[in-house]
Structure 1
């Protein structure tokens, strides 16, 4: 008997390997996958602008990256002791205009320098419910605990989502014609406005992804949302808040990601790195024993070997 509906995906027509340059943008679920890519020493930058949930805000972030333009300091706002920016996460904010400018402009400059060398851009869309600033009429990436009276709340249409993302995706492809963009929808549920609003929001995102994949040949879709909601489909795969996927669920999606995008060579390198990671976490019974010194020497040799093959790998 079958007790669940499994989602099986054929191997991707393209492979992701350790040599590729990868940029991860979007919701906190992007960070989960990015953390695992970094754990296995992929050449990956994960959410350098912090978590961003709304597709229009993500499109704006990509525009910053493409143009390499510094922020306008007049856009910074004081909120609870930090100089925040409506287009950036609070992790890039500082206690002064100078500090905030430096952190935000550094993130922009760093990613701008990499944009022509990127092989993959992985984007996770979180919600189509956005907040529009009454001050400038634009969708913000983060409200930064600013009073709700400063914004209007709206659900962004599929047409707007597609237009905003298609515009920056096409610009990005003109700059870097070998880049591949992978879209996914976050399985993290945004229930502040209720379950019905969340379902409608996710549906908007899924349909927008479909249109983008049909229109742009360099854009594809990875079904992380469907693996959580239609395959695992059980609250035991969520944290105690019943909203965020737990470690077991993320591990499951990571395994699906690996099976879909990695070839045998990449899997073998990951096994070597996993062995090194476990060795580095090992707590010796007797640090002065001959056996432990041999163990340490063997681990160091394997690290040197991998680092020689892949110079960016740091252990």
Structure 2
């Protein structure tokens, strides 16, 4: 008997390589996944101008990062709700605790979401025309909208992502993080105490699915070789001055040096 429904995850037309330059922009879910890429020594830049919840705010970050080359960009969409500053008519990324009367809330349409993402991709490709793009929809629900309204917001984002990927002929890939959490992990034990945000176990599971479907064989091999070094570097001894620990540290640094020789893009702290 099968007691859960498994999400079918198609493979992208491209693969992620070890230590790639990756830009993560989007909701706090992008922070969670981006942090894991940082830990695994990808040259990741994660929400450099803060969390961006909607596609227009994602575009705002892309405008600021257009001069920086990346191999891959990951956009995680949280909501289609935006706040427009009444004085300027501009969509803001953060109200910065200013009075609510200074802003008007509205919802982006499917086309507006797709247009913003399309422009963001075009801007980032000025630095690397071969940039690959992964789009995800955050599984985090927005209780402040009401749960039905939150689902409507996610539906707009899902349709915009679908529109974008169908236009892009394999250059934009949709990864079903939203579906994995809401279907495969359909249990509150995979959520934090607020019952809205996926917990560490859920994020780890999504990471495993990303590795399985999007990583090259070389990238998977790198993870295996990096894991024992990462664990050794994270070790905190009771007696750091002890000869046995100093010998352990010397061997770890030598292993890291050899790994860097094999993967020249690996960045290690001295």
TM-score, length-normalised on structure 1?
0.79
1:313 aligns with 2:250: no
The equivalent residue for 1:13 is 13
Distance 2:216 2:266 in 1: 20
Residue 31 of structure 1 deviates from its aligned partner by 1.1
Residue 191 of structure 1 deviates from its aligned partner by 1.3
Distance 1:175 1:21 in 2: 12
The equivalent residue for 2:85 is 133
Distance 1:235 1:203 in 2: 22
Per-residue Cα deviation, 1:266-288 (whole angstroms, up to 9, x for no partner): 12211222211211222446555
Residue 196 of structure 2, aligned match among 213, 230, 243: 243
Per-residue Cα deviation, 1:212-256 (whole angstroms, up to 9, x for no partner): 111123211111111101111111101001111100000000111
Per-residue Cα deviation, 1:101-124 (whole angstroms, up to 9, x for no partner): xxxxxxxxxxx2x23xx2101110
Residue 2 of structure 1 deviates from its aligned partner by 1.1
Give the superposed CA RMSD. Answer: 1.8
Distance 2:10 2:61 in 1: 32
Q: Aligned with 2:173: secondary structure?
A: strand
- On the 8 A contact 2:65/2:124 being kept in 1, the answer is no
Distance 2:10 2:115 in 1: 29
Gaps of 5+ in 2: none
Alignment length (residue pairs): 267
Per-residue Cα deviation, 1:190-219 (whole angstroms, up to 9, x for no partner): 111111110000000000000011112321
Distance 2:159 2:190 in 1: 25
Residue 173 of structure 2, aligned match among 210, 220, 224: 220
Distance 2:18 2:145 in 1: 40
Distance 2:23 2:241 in 1: 42
- On the 8 A contact 2:139/2:177 being kept in 1, the answer is yes
Gaps of 5+ in 1: 67-111
The equivalent residue for 1:107 is none
Residue 264 of structure 1 deviates from its aligned partner by 2.6
Distance 2:184 2:82 in 1: 28
